[in-house]
Amino acid sequence: MPPQPEEPELLAEEIHRAGESLAVLWLRQYDTSDQRVSPSQMRALLVVQRQGRVTMTELAEELDAMVSSASRLTDRLVSAGYVVRAADAARPRVVLLELTPDGRRLLDEHAARRRRTLVAALAQMTPAERRALRQGLGALDAALGAPRPEGSRAAQEG
């Protein structure tokens, strides 16, 4: 019997293709932005945003890079005014990285561009397709163990 479209292997392939399409859209969006930071710097900023405060070692691990490379990357972000180094009161020899208001603003701008790209794509779908997508993404997030943001419709329904 041939595999059915609902089977996990086929659906995983479809999700993979959709993920690649999103990645291409993100890269196009980056190519048309003002490019104040490199893709590596953007990844570092996103790590700091997600964790709030991060040590150089944690940043290097998240980026799958050597600490010296993460340190040079951080130097450029500090020079650009997107992150600051702060002392950890509990561990005097540990330096923490935090976003500056300019760093938060840059990430907000990039997120807004990404959302506009998604809105344009979603507008091409029918309401039924968008509902099905919402339901499917919610189920996938739950299966992957992704936390749902407080106040989100998915969190309220779950």
Question: Which pLDDT does position 93 carry in this prediction?
Answer: 86
The whole-chain average pLDDT of the chain stands at 85
- 10 with 80, same domain: the answer is no
- 138 with 100, same domain: the answer is yes
Taking each helix axis as running N to C, give the angle between helix 67-80 and helix 39-51, from 0 to 180 degrees, rounded to the nearest 10. Answer: 90
- 37 with 76, same domain: the answer is yes
Q: Give the up-direction half-sphere exposure of residue 65: CA atoms within 13 A in the CB hemisphere.
A: 19
- 12 with 37, same domain: the answer is no
Please say if the pLDDT value at position 20 is more than 50: yes
CA distance 69 to 32: 27
- 26 with 58, same domain: the answer is no
Element (H, E) at 52: none
Question: Which pLDDT does position 103 carry in this prediction?
Answer: 96
Q: Is residue 157 part of a domain?
A: no
Domain that holds residue 25: 1-32
pLDDT tens by residue, 80-104: 999 999 988 888 888 899 999 999 9
Q: What is the band of 155 on the pLDDT scale with cuts at 50, 70, 90? A: very low
Task: Please compute the mean of the pLDDT values over residues 16-33 and round it to a whole number.
Answer: 75
